[in-house]
Structure 1
Amino acid sequence: MPDGTNVEIKRGRKFAQVLAGAREIFLRDGFEGASVDDIARAAGVSKATLYSYFPDKRLLFMEMAKVECARQANHVMDTIDRSAPMADILRSVSRQIIDLIMSDFARSIFRICVGESTRFPDLGREFYTSGPQMGRKRLTELLRIGVSRGDLRITDLDLAAEQFAQLCKADLFDRMVFNMADTFTDVEKERVIHGAVDMFMARYGT
């Protein structure tokens, strides 16, 4: 595929179809191993149709990751009971953060971005913007609710959101990244969830 710098993405009838095919192949074969032929075949479209939407493979990968991250972030926000006690909200968010970072999608995208970071640093930057950074913004919105209700006392919401997200990765994330474990029991996850919420509320709870 040619260089897609400054190319405006075209939407159309088969746009979602192309993204679904790209998701399947990128997660299966990685960024470098994913071929245009395989993506087109998985999407059920011609190569000409695929090129008409995405003239550059990097553009296709970044749009696929952005759309999937937005979908997952919206799911988290839509399933949160904002009227619940703050500790309950944080437990629910923590559980979903852990499930997300342990998902096949997140693990594959993380490894692709790290593996291609030297040759294609824009992949990592774009994924951070559309993934972790967007997730932190959504978490900041929830923390702001806690502050407005008097449940939390926070002066730097962005920092607090980052701290909570990192607490949710304690122990599990490093073990996953370094291939020490592929799956974790509910007991292991709940240990991290309760530890994250207890520590966060001890610092910021009123």
Structure 2
Amino acid sequence: MTASRHPAPAKAKAALPDARPSGPGRPKDMGKRAAILEAAKRMFTLHGYEGSSMDQIAAEAGVSKLTVYSHFGDKETLFAAAVESHCETSLPPSLFEPAPEVPLRERLLDIARAFYAMVTDPEAVAGHRMLCTPQVAATALPKLFWEAGPVRVQGDFAALLARRIAAGELDIPDVPRAAGQFFALVKGEPHARLVFGGPAPSPEEVEAHLAASVDLFLRAYGTAPAAKKRGAGR
């Protein structure tokens, strides 16, 4: 999702009926909530935060603006919810479930592949660049994005690491720090090259990079002799 300042024309769609705000005790329509989130993700991705109004998002979702506000309160809350929803779609909760039957290296590779695919998507790269521009960096948007996206993902991953520590597979003195290190390794040079306009690596290069990143992480924190040996042999 980007933060472009160019407004986009509203997409004309008929509002769905029953657009009254949900009062206390009245259950919200989860179908409408999902439609609003999907519309927000599309609009923020195509036109950025400043270029997407609540009216336009409501029209895209086929609901009234009042319905959008009844579900999300304000545009910042909607943006944060859209970022969170995007992360959950790209990195589903099942990836962070205990699943002791799944070998640790295999689970870390699965997470690394999903995360790398998410952050190297062309729209994600464009959004990264936009969040770093002086006009956007001075706003609340980068903090909203950080808390709704990376902080939540790292928290889920830290919980997974804690469970694997309890199982004796990892030895990590500072779990939050290790979680951040893992995702920094996964992004690595390939992501930086994309951000600065360099060529995309081949699928084979990506897979080699992700495997090396996971093995380095396991060499630092894994307790299994195989992890230490694999890391030392690269």
Aligned residue in 1 for 2:170? 152
In structure 1, runs of 5+ residues without a counterpart are 1-8
Aligned residue in 1 for 2:211? 194
Aligned with 2:58 (options 40, 50, 56): 40
Q: Partner amino acid for 1:203? A: A
How much does 1:187 deviate?
Answer: 0.8
- In the TM superposition, what are the counterparts of 1:66-85 in structure 2 within 5 Å? 66-75=84-93, 77=95, 81-85=99-103
How much does 1:164 deviate?
Answer: 1.2
Larger of the two Rg values belongs to structure: 2
In structure 2, runs of 5+ residues without a counterpart are 1-20, 224-234
Instruction: Check the 8 A contact 2:90/2:114 in 1, yes or no.
Output: no
How much does 1:79 deviate?
Answer: 7.8
Whole-angstrom distance in 1 between the partners of 2:35 and 2:126: 20
Whole-angstrom distance in 2 between the partners of 1:82 and 1:40: 43
Whole-angstrom distance in 2 between the partners of 1:130 and 1:73: 13
Q: Quickly say closer, same or farther: Cα 1:147–1:103, change in 2 above 3 A.
A: same
Instruction: Check the 8 A contact 1:70/1:130 in 2, yes or no.
Output: no
Instruction: Check the 8 A contact 2:95/2:107 in 1, yes or no.
Output: no
- In the TM superposition, what are the counterparts of 1:47-66 in structure 2 within 5 Å? 47-54=65-72, 56-66=74-84
1:142 and 2:160 aligned: yes
**SS of structure 1 residue aligned to 2:218:** helix
The TM-score with structure 2 as length reference comes to 0.72
How much does 1:29 deviate?
Answer: 0.6
How much does 1:159 deviate?
Answer: 1.3
The TM-score with structure 1 as length reference comes to 0.80
Kindly provide the CA deviation profile for residues 4-50 of structure 1, in whole angstroms up to 9, marking residues without a partner as x. Answer: xxxxx967222222221111111001111113343222111233433
How much does 1:157 deviate?
Answer: 1.3
Aligned residue in 1 for 2:110? 92
* Bigger helix share: 1
Instruction: Check the 8 A contact 2:172/2:178 in 1, yes or no.
Output: yes
Q: Partner amino acid for 1:137? A: G
Range that drifts further, 12-21 or 162-171: 12-21
Aligned residues: 195
Kindly provide the CA deviation profile for residues 104-123 of structure 1, in whole angstroms up to 9, marking residues without a partner as x. Answer: 564354345434221x22x2
Instruction: Check the 8 A contact 1:80/1:92 in 2, yes or no.
Output: no
Aligned with 1:161 (options 154, 176, 179): 179
Aligned residue in 1 for 2:28? 12
